Amino acid sequence: MGVELFDTSTPVHGLREELRAAVARVLDSERYILGPEVSAFEAEFAAYCGAGHAVGVANGTEAITIALRAMGVGPGDEVVVPSFTFYASAEAIPPTGATPIFCDIDPQTYCVTADTVRAALTPRTKAVIAVHLFGNVAPIAEIEALGVPVLEDAAQAAGSTVGEERPGALGTAATFSFFPSKNLGCFGDGGMITTGDEQLAERVRTLRFHGSHDKVTYEQIGYNSRLDELQAAILRVQLPHLDAWADGRRRAGCHYEEAGLGELVALPQPTAGAAPAWHLYVISDPQVERLEAALAAAGIGHKPYYRTPVHRQAPMLGWAAGVELPATEHAARTHLAIPMSPVLTREQASEVVVATRATLA
Ligand SMILES: Cc1ncc(COP(=O)(O)O)c(C=O)c1O
């Protein structure tokens, strides 16, 4: 039968009328930039995360650059970042003038730890970017206990929880992406910065708007980086469903476990206390190429996301001399994302497991 890697359309199918009405509302309002929909979504998203403030920006990459600058990161500073992540987590650092310093991960959770971060700290470290990779939740409090401010890269972790808390309210600030395939996705590009610090939020608001409050006087070199009214209206329709979708993602992970996938390959391990809304369900196996071929033959979606880790990508080589990250290299070599969505059924999970068993058992 085959199983798609993602299913982004089924979850929103029942919301089509509401989405059309939201788009019509924006058209009728004739307000397209920084209007009532963005303000309302910022308030709703801040409340959802349990963060004091949320500021909409153009995408999850600029969210990181702007958040770092609002945290005071600039030329001469170092920012610690994992190498096993989407390229943008590190790409967003050099535009601040700072230098990326690559750190390793825990091979079971795919997240940074206090130990891997500690190994990368120097007197020039100004911030750490802790990526909540694949929807897992990095141990922010343990990293902050090292005495360094943490920016959560929560692009993949909307809907995840850790105890009573959520990504977005764990570090000094957090960034989100609303790229269409994300757990909460809009119909274009979009991003958000959350923080509990009112002054930091105000700096973000200024930076996203050309470094200005009024587009008359300019306080600094900023960005034109705004979430637009259409995307905010679309996101407002979807946000009330995020928790149910997150439950569906967790349920899909359970389907894989119950079908015996853990007997065949290494399953992703939640960090302590976390209930990840798996954005990607990433397994690991030494014979991953064989598995890729078998899944392709069975029409089952799969993707190795980060075969070449960020510190070995050409533009990063100047910042990666002598960097050795054994867990990152292992994960890069052996990981594979298999189908995951809020609506992945028990039958689909067992189809994936049958194809895996036929290849690896
Ligand atoms: C971990 C991570 N960080 C940052 C980003 C950048 O987000 P965007 O594509 O919205 O710029 C993404 C997603 O694309 C991501 O997965």
pLDDT tens for each residue of 21-54: 999 999 999 999 999 999 999 999 999 999 999 9
Contact between 16 and 234 under an 8 Å Cβ cutoff? The reply is: no
- What pLDDT score was predicted for residue 108? 97
- What pLDDT score was predicted for residue 1? 76
- The alpha carbon of 140 and the centre of ligand 1 are apart by a number of angstroms equal to 19
For 131-164, how does the pLDDT look when each residue is reduced to its tens digit (9 = 90+)? 999 999 999 999 999 999 999 999 999 999 999 9
Contact between 112 and 135 under an 8 Å Cβ cutoff? The reply is: no
- The alpha carbon of 89 and the centre of ligand 1 are apart by a number of angstroms equal to 7
Q: What dihedral do alpha carbons 174, 277, 179, 61 form, nearest 10°?
A: 30
Chain centroid to CA 308: 18
Atom of ligand 1 nearest to the CA of 189: 10
- What pLDDT score was predicted for residue 298? 96
* One-letter amino acid for residue 48 of the chain: Y
For every residue of 181-211, DSSP letters joined together read TSSS--SS--EEEEES-HHHHHHHHHHTBTT
pTM for the predicted model, two decimal places? 0.98
232 contacts: CB under 8 Å, gap ≥ 6: 37, 38, 40, 41, 42, 56, 190
- The alpha carbon of 191 and the centre of ligand 1 are apart by a number of angstroms equal to 9
Pocket of ligand 1 (CB under 6 A): 59-61, 85-86, 88-89, 131, 153, 155-156, 177, 179, 189, 191
Q: And the tokens for 251?
A: 């349920």
Atom of ligand 1 nearest to the CA of 279: 16
Average pLDDT over residues 258-282: 98
